[in-house]
Every structure is written in C-alpha cells, then in structure tokens.
Structure 1
Amino acid sequence: MTRAESLAEQIEDSIRTQGLAPGALVGKMDELRSQSGYARSTVSEAVRLLRDRGIIEIRPGRNGGLFVAESDPIVHVRHTLLRLREPAARVADAVVVRDALELQVNLDAAEHRTDDDLRDLDALVSRMGRHVDDFTSFMRANWALHERIAAISTNELLKAVYLATCAQVADVAAAELDDDAGERDEYIGSRLRIHEDLVASIGSQDPDAVYAAVLAHRDGGTTSSYLPPAG
C-alpha cells in the first residue's frame, strides 16, 4: 500500500467514525498536509483517490475545500471495484471485464464524439508522444486518454465499471513493465501507434474501423465477440 492509499484510508475512516453527513466539510488541503506530515503530492494523490471513489468532492474558492460527497449508486459501484486491488485472480477478472467493455466504450465514443472531443483526444495522444522517454508520464497520459474516451459515452454505468477495471489493470501492468527497461521501451513504441489508430477510428465514426482498432489495442486478440458482424 502506498502512502497516498494509506492516507486515503485514514481520511475515509475518519469520515465514517465522525459520522460526517454528505456536504460536511472534511478539511482543506493545507490542513491535511499539516496534520498528516505528508508531502503535497502525496496528499493530492490521496484526495484524488477519495474523489474517484466518490467519498469526497472538491469545491474551489475561499469557502471551498474537501467535502463529503453526496451518495451516488454509480460512484458506489466504481468505489467497490477500486477497492478490489491486490489478489492476482481479481486482476485477471478485471482484464476480462475491461476487454468485454472496451468495444462498447469506443463505439459509444465514435457515435457521440464532437469536434471538441476529438481535439482533446488528439491532444492527449500528442502528450503520450512527448513522453516516450518517461514511462510514468507516458502511462499517466495513456490513462487520461482512456478516461477521456470513456467520458464521451452517455452510459454512466458503463463508464464507472470500465474506468475502475482499467485502473486495476494499469496498476499491475505498470509494475511489471517497470522491471524490464527493454520490454518497457518496446511497449511504449507499439502502444503509441495503437492509440493513434484508436483515436483516428473514433474520429472516423466507422464501426468497422473501431472494431479493428480495439482488436489491435488488445494486442491482436481474436475474441469472436469483437469481430464485426458479417455483411
């Protein structure tokens, strides 16, 4: 468990112990940093984890800060999935779920994308390209791209489950590749090209192009459910 994850659990336990209701003030970033003794980056990551789990919401401004989030069943689903991190069997399950949802997420994006969406996706692919020599930054840009693609979908449950399972898979993949610099460099080069094609397929709004791009994204998988219908 990282320091950020540990701090996030401490804050969540404190909210539960105090019985704070939705909308109640949890604190401000500077207060959390002072109380915990952690660096700003660690506190920021802990806050991001809590926000993604639907535990807190961040309000800007003079009277802003961190507040207990309103209960949302979709966020609760995502929170539950994000807590299932460690056992390898669960990660393998996450891969299966992610792969099953990948096609629909990208088809939704192709159907509903706007010109603004495409500009954002192109910018994120360019960001990946700028970080081919920095694995951590590359993976962050990769994750941001998939998060932005999923955001185009109008299916909130699909987005919640997809993003949570992607997070599980990404954590394990990053840890494994970090041990082998040669494999990591090869991975970055191939994944950049694949993501460029994925974004291009979304821009084309051609279902066949999306099918092909999703298959390539899954490293050339040939699962029959991903093949386009005959005719």
Structure 2
Amino acid sequence: MPGDRIATKDELRQDTGLARATVSEAVRLLQSQGRVVVRPGPGGGLFVAPTDPVVRLGQTLLAVHSEPVTVADAVAVRDSLEPLVAADAARHRSARDIADLRVLLDAMSDAVADPERFLRANWRLHERIAQIVANKVLQTIYIGLAQFIQDQALAVSHDLSPHEHAVYKQHRLHLHVDLVQAIISGDPDQAELAARAHTLDYRSGAPIAAEVD
C-alpha cells in the first residue's frame, strides 16, 4: 500500500546479499518509475510511493536529472537478481507453482514462431517464478524492474537471418526449460546455475547487455 515502509538500503543489502552498487541502482530505477520514495533520518528508508498516473505516462521518455534510464540499465540489474530469484523459487515452490510453471512453459513453446507472443509468454513465466519467492524485498525489486522493462515495449534486434532467429528462439526456450526444471526439482544450486545460463548468449557466452527475455 502507498506509504508502507519497505526497508533501508542497508537492510536490502543484508536481506538479498547484493552488492552496494546493485542495490543503489535498483533503488534508483524504482525511484525513477515513481514506485518508491526515500526518506532520510531515523525511521526512514524506502517507502511505497503514491500512485501517480503521470509517472507511468512518461516512462517511455524517462530521465532522472538529465541521466537517461535505459532498458539496458534495468536488464543489467534484473540479470544480477535472476540467480537469487531462481534459487529462492526452488526452495519454496509448491505443487500449484509447479503446475503453473509447466503451463506457462508450454505457452512459451507454442509461441516460438511469433516473436511478440514469445516475449510476452516469457515475461509471464518470469513473473510467475518471482511470485514464488519468499523474500519479499527481493520479489518487489525484481518485479518492479521487470515491469519497467515491459513498460518500455522495446524489441531487441540480434541482426539474425530468419533461420538464425528461429534457432535463437529455440535456444532461449531450452534455457527456460532447464530453468523451470531446476526450480521444480527443488535444487537451489541447480536453479541458480540455470538462471546464470539464461543471461548468457548462446553463441559467444557473453552477457546479453540489452536482452529483454
């Protein structure tokens, strides 16, 4: 609810195990979206911001003090959270969660030939994984970043031929199959490894700086 206290930056670092710079960047992005406010002093910290429709309307041209907030920035922070989200989901998944993940993975498989449907099915799968997370601080930050990325509605070009594009999407699907299977197995270490593989390009092994799925 608007006005609810979330935590301080120090509490976020302790709860999530993330580096100071990662937490600061995540907080900056959430502030830029108008999702949180930061209050200094005793009893201060991060609080749920009041809903402001103007903030949402202006997100496609979002800037903070003349510094652009790009999708790549959000993706970089989100990717650093993926292993934590996957590991926590593996620890806490229920029978209902498992059933939902399988349905969403099937929907993603059915959409391989349609880039827009594939991307949206991908987003729904990741959001459902995040909903399993018991650490509410981690869950809030991750879902907030994911929503920011989705709100931008930007496509990513990989400069591939149609055949290469099809191969690439199949590869991405297989990575998500591995991720879901690791979460279903209840093995946090395997889920973390699968999440790290999810952020790597299948050709070069290098992190995808602006990958949105």
TM normalised by structure 1 equals 0.55
Larger helix fraction of residues: 1
Higher relative contact order (CA 8 A, sep 6+): 2
The Cα of 1:111 is off from its aligned counterpart by 0.9
The alignment status of 1:191 with 2:167, answered yes or no, reads: no
How many Å separate the matches in 1 of 2:191 and 2:94? 16
The Cα of 1:184 is off from its aligned counterpart by 3.4
The alignment status of 1:142 with 2:122, answered yes or no, reads: yes
Structure 2 residue runs of 5 or longer lacking an equivalent are: 3-33, 36-46, 208-213
- Asked whether the equivalents of residues 177 and 183 of structure 1 are also in contact (C-alpha less than 8 Å), the reply is no
Out of 87, 110, 122, the position equivalent to 2:102 is 122
Q: How do 1:90-169 residues align onto structure 2 when only pairs under 5 Å count?
A: 90-169=70-149
**Alignment RMSD:** 3.7
The alignment status of 1:214 with 2:195, answered yes or no, reads: yes
The Cα of 1:83 is off from its aligned counterpart by 3.4
SS in 1 for 2:157: helix
Aligned CA distance change for structure 1 residues 215 and 181 (closer, same or farther; 3 Å): same
1:66 corresponds to? none
Out of 58, 75, 83, the position equivalent to 2:59 is 83
Aligned CA distance change for structure 1 residues 190 and 179 (closer, same or farther; 3 Å): closer
The Cα of 1:131 is off from its aligned counterpart by 1.2
Which has the greater radius of gyration?
1
Q: Deviations over 1:132-175 (max 9, x none)?
A: 11111111110000000000112333223212323444556624
How many Å separate the matches in 2 of 1:74 and 1:180? 44
SS in 2 for 1:174: coil
Q: How do 1:27-46 residues align onto structure 2 when only pairs under 5 Å count?
A: none
How many Å separate the matches in 2 of 1:133 and 1:222? 25
How many Å separate the matches in 2 of 1:108 and 1:90? 27
1:18 corresponds to? none
Structure 1 residue runs of 5 or longer lacking an equivalent are: 1-21, 23-52, 55-72, 224-231
TM normalised by structure 2 equals 0.59
How many Å separate the matches in 2 of 1:76 and 1:161? 17
The worse-fitting range, judged by mean Cα deviation, of 166-175 and 142-151 is: 166-175
- Asked whether the equivalents of residues 215 and 222 of structure 1 are also in contact (C-alpha less than 8 Å), the reply is no
How many Å separate the matches in 2 of 1:211 and 1:159? 16
Amino acid at match of 1:142: N
Aligned CA distance change for structure 1 residues 187 and 179 (closer, same or farther; 3 Å): closer
Q: Deviations over 1:43-75 (max 9, x none)?
A: xxxxxxxxxx88xxxxxxxxxxxxxxxxxx447
Amino acid at match of 1:102: E
Q: Deviations over 1:1-52 (max 9, x none)?
A: xxxxxxxxxxxxxxxxxxxxx9xxxxxxxxxxxxxxxxxxxxxxxxxxxxxx
Amino acid at match of 1:187: Y
The Cα of 1:130 is off from its aligned counterpart by 1.0
